[in-house]
Structure 1
Amino acid sequence: MKKHSFIILAMLACSMALQAQTKWENPLKQSFATIAGRAWNEEIKETYDRLPQRAKDKVRTPLWNLSRESAGLSVSFYSNAPEIKVRYTVRGGFSMPHMPSTGVSGVDLYAIDSDGRQRWCGAQYAFGDTVTYTYRKLSYESRHGQGYEYRLFLPLYNSVSWLEIGVPTESSLSFLPVSSEKPVVVYGTSIAQGACASRPGMAWTNIVSRQTAHPVVNLGFSGNGKLETELFQLLAEIDAKLYIIDCMPNLPGEEASKLIYDRTLQGVDILRKQSQAPILLVEHAGYTNDLTSKETETSYKVANVELRRAYEALQKKGVPQIYYLTKEEIGLSIDAAVEGVHPNDLGMQQYADSYTRKIKEILHEKSNSLSTCSPCKQRREPDMYEWNKRHEQILKLNKEQAPEIVMIGNSITHYWAGEPVAPKQSGAKAWEKLFKGKVVRNLGFGWDRVENVLWRIYHGELDGYQAKQIFLMIGTNNLEMNSDEEIIEGLQQVVKAIQYRQPQAKLCIVGILPRKGMEKRVATFNQRLQQQLAASGATYVNLTPALTNKNGAIDLSLFSDGLHPNEKGYERIAKELKELIVI
């Protein structure tokens, strides 16, 4: 008996030891907001709802109940863990007849590596009183050993009561604050909410968020996206980058479609009284069986006729920034829906691709297949600074005090001086002398490449103010991985992005600084860059003569490592730029 009791105690002790090996964190218990995809984080606080509590008495009960489902919500965190666990409880049933448990009640984990590339994580999961997802054998390619940025998408059609994320005790886990960037706001139906994606990451709103990297607020309500005044009033409270109105699937047929014209005009009027953000009106994408059912085809066509009529009326009135997405542009194929109505993963991807194209067009965010022209984040050396944190600091500073002069670049700019303050400053005296009395913002990020600058421009660092002058000095970190042609094409795209967002600013493009062992290539590159930018209207700045000897080699006395200027080097740079500063 004693031996048996000893064995039981030993097993219990072993079990407790195994449990202790995992440390658990609740994202809602952090000192800052961690739930992305909500427009009212300060009000909603410690729940996974999508609308604030005060909306309960304002909207219809079915819509309020749907707002408690966590569609479009996500949590981001850093970790280097080889295993990540998620455990949580939900209030409703796990699945629906046309949608699996993994979509209705599951979570979905994506990773972003050091160079901004996305990776999907496979899991083992179990649905019980507590739902568990376990991501095992996670591997990393980052040199710094601090892992990846992770993004966990929450259930699409269920209400989360509580949730915790666990990693081994020796691994790191730190949550990211919600971005202050303006979101894309979607008001729609069950299709926008996420029916019938197989997993949360495949809902079209979440795909769009992943493809554009913009925050997306999902206000899709199954069967209840009906262009109601109460919802437009709530939408008008949101400082949006773009509004998407996609309610036609809930207003098909002769009777329901009669509401579309008046409600669309009233809703746009409500938004326009508060915001000048672009508004995208979206047609019914149709049913995938419409070729075999004339009645089905007619039901969505009458809705689209009324929406088109409203759009044309808004155009005639001269209401600014109104855009339109047609059924044909969405382009659902016959295999894109589960039961002819709700998209499967193929349909969700088709929806998302059409939306992404239109969003990039509206927001003037061009990209192509070249790496230098594909905007992306980075986290290459987090020991020196956190890239996301610096980006958010800049957005905050720009709101608090609009800069007169903006310096865009990589570590050469980052570690010169100015705000946001860097961990080290190598040319503070030269900076203060050059910019004395002026409000200057340092948009230099260590280890940035052309494509990282493009991401930052597309994500708000030049929005909301009017600068007098902008200096751009980027490209040296692309030299070892891109051809001159690729770098120049990327720089041309960056220049266009800057000039669209800051048309009044004097733009100065600084050629790549000479660097040890690459002087000849840099000189050739800069000559070609100057020629290519001749028609851009920007001022080209050549600092090479001030930093090299007569034989063309860099003056090592001006650099700390053959690449980064020292105090004396920054003094030379400041002297050259002084004559260009706008008074």
Structure 2
Amino acid sequence: MNILSRRSTLRGAAAFTLAAAAPLAAGFGATRTVLAAAPISRMDLPWWRKRHEEKLKELADTQPTLIFLGDSITENWEKSGPPDWQEFQQAWKRFYGDRKAVNLGFKGDTTASLLWRIRNGEVANIKPKVAVVLIGANNFGRVHWDAEETVQGIDAIIGELRKRLPDTKILLLGVLPSDRSPWVTEQTATINKALARNYKSVPMVTYLDLTPIFMKGNTLNRSLFYDPLLSPPEAPLHPTAQGQALMSQTMEPVLSAMLGDRPHG
């Protein structure tokens, strides 16, 4: 993910279709739009539009008990190897295969695009027991939205879910650690501290930070990310299948309690 200057924020976001604005106070009566907290469509991308339409049908057919909302890290659960670092489906089936789970991860999505999907059918006419939310990593990419903006985007997502799915419990995951730049590392830590504080005692919302499973002491465990294995290699961002299996194992005690079923794994 290339990190651009602050000046490119609006230019980068202009590639999307702005579906609505979220004006917030900024100074003496002025307003500004925090794009991270505004629904932004990606329907101009044929693959994204096709996936959105397919997921609407899957949701209607499945009537899920469990949904996962996120970006490429969530979407990766649908991948199957070889190689073994890409064999995600094995853990998905083990932990979620009998739980009527639907994967609503979309590669490249920011908080803004997830918010658009929530407002445009992806939680309509369903009543899942739990929604797992993992979002925010792409806010640090070409749109270059910082921690403050990203937290506002995540808050908007949680608020929208609580309004549209009032009986659904939400498992909010912290933004996963990566090794893209010192700025990204700092912003990630700032977001997770804010989320831990903001959602300490919010009804129906449980916050869980999975950062520790990806660390060796104070250093990122690069072996749990597949990006360095690509050709050409990239900075660690996406967990391997083994890394995501560890995520599921760590989430499981919390998730099974929220679902009220037996522990899996």
TM-score of the superposed pair, with normalisation by structure 1? 0.35
Report the secondary structure of 2:16's partner residue: coil
- 2-side partners of 1:367 and 1:533: how far apart? 21
Residue in 1 that maps onto 2:195: 529
Please say if residues 86 and 241 of structure 2, whose CA atoms lie closer than 8 Å, have aligned partners that are also in contact. no
CA offsets 1:177-196 (integer angstroms, 9 cap, x no match): xxxxxxxxxxxxxxxxxxxx
- 2-side partners of 1:574 and 1:528: how far apart? 23
Correspondence for 2:151 among 488, 511, 523 = 488
Residue in 1 that maps onto 2:215: 548
Residue in 2 that maps onto 1:473: 134
Please say if residues 130 and 168 of structure 2, whose CA atoms lie closer than 8 Å, have aligned partners that are also in contact. yes
Please say if residues 64 and 101 of structure 2, whose CA atoms lie closer than 8 Å, have aligned partners that are also in contact. yes
- 1-side partners of 2:101 and 2:155: how far apart? 24
- 1-side partners of 2:214 and 2:103: how far apart? 22
State the 1:544 CA deviation.
Answer: 0.3
Matched, 1:439 2:103: no
Distance change >3 Å, CA 114–CA 568, structure 1 → 2: farther
- 1-side partners of 2:16 and 2:162: how far apart? 25
- 2-side partners of 1:398 and 1:498: how far apart? 16
Larger Rg: 1
- 1-side partners of 2:15 and 2:151: how far apart? 20
What pairs with 1:30-179 in structure 2 (closer than 5 Å)? 115-117=15-17
CA offsets 1:177-216 (integer angstroms, 9 cap, x no match): xxxxxxxxxxxxxxxxxxxxxxxxxxxxxxxxxx56xxxx
Matched, 1:409 2:67: no
Runs of 4+ aligned structure 1 residues displaced above 3 Å come to: 517-521
Distance change >3 Å, CA 549–CA 535, structure 1 → 2: same
Matched, 1:377 2:41: yes
Q: Structure 2 counterpart of 1:448, which letter?
A: D
Aligned length: 217
Matched, 1:449 2:123: no
Please say if residues 412 and 564 of structure 1, whose CA atoms lie closer than 8 Å, have aligned partners that are also in contact. yes
Distance change >3 Å, CA 425–CA 396, structure 1 → 2: farther
- 2-side partners of 1:415 and 1:550: how far apart? 27
Report the secondary structure of 1:415's partner residue: helix
- 1-side partners of 2:14 and 2:56: how far apart? 22
Please say if residues 22 and 35 of structure 2, whose CA atoms lie closer than 8 Å, have aligned partners that are also in contact. no
- Percent identity over the alignment is 28
Matched, 1:367 2:22: yes
Distance change >3 Å, CA 399–CA 539, structure 1 → 2: same
State the 1:379 CA deviation.
Answer: 6.3
CA offsets 1:254-290 (integer angstroms, 9 cap, x no match): xxxxxxxxxxxxxxxxxxxxxxxxxxxxxxxxxxxxx
Please say if residues 416 and 425 of structure 1, whose CA atoms lie closer than 8 Å, have aligned partners that are also in contact. no
CA offsets 1:219-246 (integer angstroms, 9 cap, x no match): xxxxxxxxxxxxxxxxxxxxxxxxxxxx
Q: Structure 1 counterpart of 2:35, which letter?
A: S
Residue in 2 that maps onto 1:539: 206
CA offsets 1:424-476 (integer angstroms, 9 cap, x no match): 96411111111131111101000000000000000010010100100000001
Correspondence for 1:519 among 180, 185, 191 = 185
Residue in 2 that maps onto 1:509: 172
Indicate the RMSD between aligned Cα atoms, in angstroms: 2.3
Q: Could you tell which deviates more after superposition, 463-472 or 367-376? A: 367-376
Matched, 1:559 2:222: no
State the 1:546 CA deviation.
Answer: 0.7
Correspondence for 1:391 among 46, 52, 61 = 52
Report the secondary structure of 1:459's partner residue: helix
Report the secondary structure of 1:546's partner residue: helix
CA offsets 1:66-97 (integer angstroms, 9 cap, x no match): xxxxxxxxxxxxxxxxxxxxxxxxxxxxxxxx
State the 1:535 CA deviation.
Answer: 4.4
Residue in 1 that maps onto 2:254: 580
- 2-side partners of 1:372 and 1:450: how far apart? 6
Q: Structure 1 counterpart of 2:241, which letter?
A: E
Distance change >3 Å, CA 115–CA 546, structure 1 → 2: same
Report the secondary structure of 1:463's partner residue: coil
Please say if residues 492 and 533 of structure 1, whose CA atoms lie closer than 8 Å, have aligned partners that are also in contact. no
Report the secondary structure of 1:472's partner residue: strand
- 2-side partners of 1:468 and 1:386: how far apart? 29
Please say if residues 178 and 185 of structure 2, whose CA atoms lie closer than 8 Å, have aligned partners that are also in contact. yes
Unaligned runs of 5+ in 2: 1-12, 24-32, 80-84, 228-235
Report the secondary structure of 2:145's partner residue: coil
Report the secondary structure of 1:441's partner residue: strand
Please say if residues 417 and 425 of structure 1, whose CA atoms lie closer than 8 Å, have aligned partners that are also in contact. no
Higher relative contact order (CA 8 A, sep 6+): 2
State the 1:498 CA deviation.
Answer: 0.4
Report the secondary structure of 1:386's partner residue: helix
State the 1:378 CA deviation.
Answer: 2.1
Report the secondary structure of 1:407's partner residue: strand
- 1-side partners of 2:247 and 2:48: how far apart? 25
Q: Structure 1 counterpart of 2:224, which letter?
A: L
Distance change >3 Å, CA 566–CA 531, structure 1 → 2: same
Please say if residues 454 and 494 of structure 1, whose CA atoms lie closer than 8 Å, have aligned partners that are also in contact. yes
Report the secondary structure of 2:161's partner residue: helix
Kindly indicate which of the two structures has a greater share of residues assigned to helix: 2
Correspondence for 1:570 among 244, 251, 254 = 244
Q: Structure 1 counterpart of 2:92, which letter?
A: W
Residue in 2 that maps onto 1:400: 61
Please say if residues 69 and 103 of structure 2, whose CA atoms lie closer than 8 Å, have aligned partners that are also in contact. yes
